[in-house]
Amino acid sequence: MFHWLEKNPFFFASAISIVISFAGLIEIIPNFAKAGRPLVDLKPRTVLQLAGKMVYQKDNCMACHSQMIRPFKAETDRYGKYSLSGEYAYDRPFLWGSKRTGPDLHRIGNYRTTDWHEAHMKDPAKIVPGSIMPAYKHQFTNMADIETAYAEAVTVKNVFHTPYGPSIKRGKAAWEAYKPTVLAEARKIAADMKDERVKKAVSEGKVPEIVALIAYLNSLK
């Protein structure tokens, strides 16, 4: 049988395709609907938080931080309640990470505050002596892309039925109408911050990356 296969490339390739597809079919498909189910009271992230998640992705925080508290006492003592599948139901992509050079962040919103993050992102080693995390000063001057975050909210609402309210709609006009909501949320974060550049930018209707990022980190609970 094998000699025959080795002389018939078409059947050989077909045989490979069949053999390699089993695992995915059996491990991924049967549980798909169940694993996609959200917790009962789970709310999708606000547009500002989504913009912060995009900053988290852009600066690739997940290279060093996980968002997955495993069910061990050592982890629940350190980080809080272990993670549940339903908490991630609106996370596209998942941001569990695979390496903890720094601590887990899945419930960071429970024990760190806006001003802590502000000082920490400017100079991590000053807040946590011995820290090897780089400073992310550019987040104080770069502006977050809130329009793209809004586009993401519209997309997941329309395509995946993520439960956003009726004001999240397609098109420029809807976005212009929605923008003040995002800015209001940004002002609340900025009120707890000290950096003058950030305060000035927010008062001018712009959202620095750090503001969005903190909104996101505060939402991790």
Partner 1 sequence: MQSNAALEYDYSLAKKFTYLTILFGFLGMLVGTIIAAQMAFPELNYLLGEYGTFSRLRPIHTNTVVFGFTVSGIFATWFYVGQRVLKVSIAESKFLMVIGNIQFWLYFVGALAATVSLLLGYTTSKEYAQYEWPFDIVVVLIWVLWGVSIMGLIGIRREKALYISVWYYLACFLGIAMLYLFNNMEIPTYFTSGGLGNPLHSVSMYAGTNDALVEWWYGHNAVAFGFTVPIVGMIYYFLPKESGQAIYSYKLSLLSFWGLMFVYLWAGSHHLLWSTVPDWMQTMGSAFSVVLILPSWGSAINMLLTLKGEWNQLTDNPLIKFMVLASTFYMLSTIEGPIQAVKSVNAIAHFTDWIPGHVHDGVLGWVVFMIMSAIFHMAPRMFKRELYSKKLMEAQFWLQTTAVVLYFTSMWIAGITQGMMWRAVDEYGNLMYSFIDTVTVLHPYYTIRALSGVMYLAGFIMFAYNIYKTMTVGKELTQEPQFRTPMA
Q: Which of 161, 172, 196, 204 is close enough to bind partner 1 by CB under 8 A?
A: 172
Under rule CB under 8 A, which residues in 107-166 are in contact with partner 1? 125, 128-136, 138, 142, 145, 147-152, 154-156, 158-160
The DSSP code for 60 is T
Binds partner 1 (CB under 8 A): choice among 100, 188, 200, 221: 100
Residue 83 as a binder of partner 1 (CB under 8 A): the answer is: yes
Write down the least CB distance from residue 37 to partner 1, Å: 9
Q: Which is nearer to partner 1, 90 or 216 (CB)?
A: 90
Sequence-distant (6+) residues with CB within 8 A of 82 are 69, 70, 71, 72, 75, 76
* Least gap, CB of 48 to partner 1 (angstroms): 14
Residue closer to partner 1 by CB (options 94, 191) is 94
| Binding residue (CB under 8 A) for partner 1 from 43, 84, 110, 115 | 84
Pick out residues in 190-209 that bind partner 1 (CB under 8 A).
Answer: none
Cβ distance 55 to 139 under 8 Å? yes
> DSSP letters of 109-156?
GGT--HHHHHHHHH-HHHHSTT--PPP-GGGGTSBP-HHHHHHHHHHH
Token pair in block for residue 67 = 């968002």
Minimum distance, C-beta of residue 118 to partner 1, in the bound complex (Å): 18
CB atoms under 10 Å from CB of 21, counted, come to: 10
- Residue 94 interacts with partner 1 (CB under 8 A): yes or no: yes
Contact 118, 195 (CB under 8 A): yes
Minimum distance of partner 1 from residue 44's CB (angstroms): 10
DSSP 88: G
Both structure tokens of 176: 């212009």
> Interaction with partner 1 in 39-78: which residues (CB under 8 A)?
54, 57-64, 66, 68, 70-72, 74-75, 77-78
